[in-house]
Structure 1
Amino acid sequence: MENPVFRIAVRKFGPFETAMQQLWDAFCLKYDISIGVEMVPMELHDLYEQTISDGGLKKGNWDIAHMNTDWIFDAAKANAVEDLTPFIAKKAPQDFPEGWHNSLLHLQEIEGGIYGLPFHDGPECLIYRKDLFENQTEKENFKKQFGYELAPPKTWTEFEQIATFFNRPNEKLYGCVFANYPDGHNMVFDFCLHLWTRGGSLLNAENNMNINTQAAIDTLDYYRYIVKNTAAVHPGSADFGSVEAGMAFANGEAAMTINWFGFASMCEVIAESRVKGKVDVTTLPFAVGGKTASLNVYWLYTIGTGSTNKKLAYDFLRFATTAESDKLLTNEGGIGCRKSTWKDAEINETIPYYHKLESLHENALTLPQIAVWPDIAILIDQMVLTALKTDIPSADLLKNTQIEIEKIL
Structure 2
Amino acid sequence: MENSTFRIAVRKFGPFETAMQKLWDAFCLKNDISIAVEMVPMELHDLYEQTISEEGLKKGDWDIAHINTDWIFDATHAKAVEDLRPYIAQKAPQDFPQGWHNSLLHLQEIDGGIHGLPFHDGPECLIYRKDLFENPIEKENFKKEYGYELAPPKTWLEFEQMATFFNRPDENLYGCVFANYPDGHNMVFDFCLHLWTRGGSLINNENRVNVNTQAAIDTLDYYRYIVKKTDAVHPGSIDFGSVEAGMAFANAEAAMTINWFGFASMSEVIAESKVKGKVDVTTLPFAEGGKTASLNVYWLYTIGTGSKYKQLAYDFLRFATTAESDKLLTNEGGIGCRKSTWKDPEINATIPYYHKLESLHENAHTLPQIAVWPDIAILIDQMVLTALKTEIPSADLLKNTQIEIEKIL
TM score, norm. by length of structure 1: 1.00
1:315-334 matched pairs, under 5 angstroms:
315-334=315-334
Residue identity in the other structure for 1:307 = S
Give the aligned partner of residue 258 of structure 1: 258
Shift of 1:58: 0.3
Q: How does 1:99-110 map to 2 (within 5 A)?
A: 99-110=99-110
Displacement of 1:49 after TM fit? 0.1
Q: Deviations over 1:235-291 (max 9, x none)?
A: 000000000000000000000000000000000000000000000000000000000
2:330 partner letter: T
Partner residue in 2 for 1:10: 10
**Cα distance, 1:3 vs. partner?**
3.4
Give, in angstroms, the shift of residue 194 of structure 1.
0.1
Match in the other structure for 2:216: 216
State the distance in 2 between where 1:19 and 1:214 align.
Answer: 45
The CA deviation at 1:206 is 1.1
Partner of 2:178: 178
Whole-angstrom CA distance in 2 between matches of 1:213 and 1:237:
27
**1:361 corresponds to which residue?**
361
Equivalent residues in 2 for 1:10-409 (5 A)? 10-409=10-409
Shift of residue 15 of structure 1? Answer: 0.1
Q: Distance in 2 between matches of 1:271 and 1:318?
A: 29
Unaligned residue ranges in structure 2 (runs of 5+): none
2:163–2:174: 8 Å Cα contact kept in structure 1? yes
The answer to whether the Cα contact below 8 Å between 1:163 and 1:174 also exists between their aligned partners in 2 is yes
Q: Deviations over 1:44-95 (max 9, x none)?
A: 0000000000000000000000000000000000000000000000000000
Question: C-alpha distance in 2, partners of 1:242/1:395?
Answer: 27
Contact kept in structure 2, 1:3 and 1:309, CA below 8 Å: no
Query: Any idea what the Cα deviations from partners look like across 1:74-131, whole Å, max 9, x if unmatched?
Result: 0000000000000000000000000000000000000110000000000000000000
Query: 1 CA distance for matches of 2:132 and 2:144?
Result: 16
* One-letter amino acid of the structure 2 residue matched with residue 117 of structure 1: L
Q: Tell me, what secondary structure is at the counterpart of 2:358?
A: helix
Q: What secondary structure is seen at the aligned counterpart in 2 of 1:234?
A: coil
CA RMSD of aligned residues (A): 0.7
Amino acid at match of 2:324: E
SS of alignment partner, residue 407 of structure 1: helix
Counterpart-to-counterpart distance in 2, 1:319 and 1:171: 46
Q: Return the offset for 1:165.
A: 0.1
Deviation at 1:2, TM superposition (A): 8.2
**SS where residue 70 of structure 1 aligns?**
coil
Give yes or no for contact 2:294–2:360 (8 Å, CA) kept in 1.
yes
Matched-pair identity in %: 89
* 1:184-214 deviation line (CA, Å, top 9, x unaligned): 0000000000000000000001111100000
- What amino acid maps onto 2:341 in structure 1? T
Aligned length: 409
Distance in 2 between the 1:355 and 1:113 partners? 30
The separation in 2 between residues aligned to 1:235 and 1:154, in whole angstroms, is 24
Secondary structure at the counterpart of residue 70 of structure 2: helix
- Matched to 1:372, the amino acid is V
Amino acid paired to 2:393: P
Once superposed, which parts of structure 1, at least 4 consecutive aligned residues long, lie more than 4 Å away? none
Asked if 1 retains the 8 angstrom alpha-carbon contact of 2:3 and 2:61, the reply is: no
- Residues in 2 aligned to 1:313 and 1:164: alpha-carbon distance in whole angstroms: 50
SS across alignment from 1:47: helix
